[in-house]
């Protein structure tokens, strides 16, 4: 019966809901502690869907053997190119799409993968992991069966006591669409971290419900929406959601250090703690249940 529901992003296919919640909870607690507040672990749950993207068993060891020739879908290509363009804008050591030094590479996707391998933001991600990450984004946005299963995980996690939904990365898309579909809920505070929701031609134009005349639908059950982004986050390509989703969105920039897109530094930020605290009731919330002042 959690008051806070967490929603993760891509790359969690070999994790699990309990494992991930245990990993995120200390950071969430630290963010609240900056405001003299705390919340019990039993009040926090993870809407976990990563296993839906876990590849079936295959011959060989490790990740499926993928390379640039396997990236034939338009959405996957757009995701990789968007990451490449953003990384090149932010890092002098990353050649951009307009850089002619790599014209000998015949495939634009291979050029993107080569460039991203030199990006500090994507450090540690092999070509196969980059392709798998782009594929997860594509599968959620274009496969109705996958979308339905992921949305079902949200429904299972949210209870009548839920007051705050904290969604990271692709999870912000999952959370947004779920909130739009559940107008019967009331007074939900939505906190998005490193969100790609406003990235046009990839995410924004594929949202359900579909935007109209360049403006997205406001979830009727959302009392307040706090969008938090790091300036160097290459996944949150559009930092301000207000222009696309409505002036009620409170957009805020934070600094996460070297791990610009990691959920945990987002959660430890003072601004995130303040947003979550407001959803739990502020001063009134401190006096009820297991949500206590420190």
Q: Is residue 148 part of a domain?
A: no
Do residue 133 and residue 163 come from a single domain?
A: no
225 and 275 in a common domain: yes
CATH code at 183? 3.40.50
Inside any domain, residue 150: no
Prior bond to 209 cis, omega within 30? yes
> Are 129 and 206 members of one domain?
no
Tell me what pLDDT residue 197 has. Answer: 98
Count of the separate structural domains present in the chain: 2
pLDDT band at 246 (very low <50, low <70, confident <90, very high): very high
Mean pLDDT of the chain: 90
Are 41 and 175 contained in the same domain?
A: yes
pLDDT of the residue at 92: 81
Kindly state whether residues 186 and 44 are assigned to the same domain: yes
pLDDT attached to residue 98: 74
* pLDDT recorded at residue 7: 98
- 241 — pLDDT class (breaks 50, 70, 90): very high
Q: Tell me the mean pLDDT in the region 255-268.
A: 95
Q: Taking residues 224-246, what's their average pLDDT?
A: 96
Token pair in block for residue 60: 């060989």
Q: Is the pLDDT score of 102 beyond 70?
A: no
CA dihedral 252, 248, 141, 52 (to 10 degrees): 70
- Out of 115, 141, 167, a domain closes at 141
Q: Do residue 106 and residue 218 come from a single domain?
A: no
pLDDT computed for residue 62 by the predictor: 53
- Is 189 inside any structural domain? yes
| Mean pLDDT along residues 25-42 | 97
Q: What are the angstrom distances between the C-alpha of 288 and each of 34, 70, 280, 283?
A: 19, 53, 10, 10
Least confident window among 80-94, 111-125, 258-272: 111-125
Regarding whether 162 and 43 lie in a shared domain, the answer is yes
- Answer yes or no: do 176 and 215 share one domain: yes
Mean local confidence (pLDDT), 155-164: 97
Confidence of residue 162 (pLDDT cuts 50, 70, 90): very high
pLDDT digits 0-9 by tens, 51-63: 999 887 654 445 5
Asked whether residue 263 falls in the same domain as residue 167, the answer is yes
State the SS3 of the chain.
Answer: CCCEEEECCCCCCCCCHHHHHHHHHHHHHHHHHCCCEECCHHHEEEECCHHHHCCCCCCCCCCCCCCHHHCCCHHHHHHHHHHHHHHHHHCCCCCCCCCHHHCCCCCHHHHHHHHHCCCCCCCCCCHHHHHHHHHHHHHHHHCHHHHHHHHHHHHHHCCCCCCEEEEECHHHHHHHHHHHHCCCCCCEEEEEECCCCCCCCCCHHHCCCCCECCECCCCCCEEEEEEEEECCCCCCCCCCCHHHHCCCEEEEEECCCCCCCCHHHHHHCHHHHHHHHHHCCHHHHCCCCCCEEC
Q: Are residues 116 and 194 part of one domain?
A: no
Q: What is the pLDDT of residue 290?
A: 43
Domain with 232, as residue range(s), is: 4-52+158-293
Cβ(259)–Cβ(194) below 8 Å: no
Q: How confident is the model at residue 1 (pLDDT cuts 50, 70, 90)?
A: low
In whole angstroms, what is the distance from residue 270 CA to residue 29 CA?
Answer: 11
Q: How far apart are the first and last CA of the chain?
A: 22
Q: Do 218 and 120 share a structural domain?
A: no
Asked if 173 and 44 sit in the same domain, the reply is: yes
- Domain-located, residue 147: no
């Amino acid at each position: 019966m959690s008051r806070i529901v967490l929603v993760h992003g891509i790359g969690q296919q070999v994790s699990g809901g309990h494992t991930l919640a245990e990993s995120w909870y200390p950071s969430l607690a630290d963010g609240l502690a900056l405001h003299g507040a705390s919340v019990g672990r039993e009040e926090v749950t993870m809407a976990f869907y990563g296993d839906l993207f876990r590849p079936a068993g295959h011959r060989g060891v490790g990740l499926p053997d993928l390379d640039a020739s396997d990236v034939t879908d338009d959405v996957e290509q757009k995701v990789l190119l968007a990451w490449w363009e953003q990384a090149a804008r932010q890092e002098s050591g990353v050649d951009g799409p307009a850089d002619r030094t790599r014209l000998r590479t015949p495939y634009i996707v291979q050029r993107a993968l080569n460039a991203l391998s030199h990006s500090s933001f994507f450090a540690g991600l092999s070509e196969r992991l980059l392709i798998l990450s782009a594929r997860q984004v594509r599968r959620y946005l274009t496969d109705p069966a996958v979308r339905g299963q992921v949305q079902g995980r949200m429904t299972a996690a949210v209870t009548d006591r839920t007051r705050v939904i904290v969604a990271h990365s692709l999870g912000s898309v999952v959370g947004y669409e779920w909130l739009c579909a559940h107008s019967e809920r009331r007074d939900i505070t939505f906190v998005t971290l490193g969100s790609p929701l406003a990235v046009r031609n990839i995410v924004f134009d594929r949202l359900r419900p579909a935007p109209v005349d360049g403006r997205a639908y406001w979830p009727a059950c959302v009392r307040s929406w706090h969008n938090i982004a790091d300036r160097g986050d290459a996944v949150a390509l559009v930092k301000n959601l207000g222009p696309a989703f409505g002036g009620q969105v409170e957009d805020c920039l934070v600094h996460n250090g070297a791990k610009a897109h990691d959920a945990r530094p987002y959660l430890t930020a003072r601004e995130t703690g303040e947003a979550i605290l407001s959803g739990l009731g502020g001063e009134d919330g401190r006096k009820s249940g297991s949500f206590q002042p420190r």
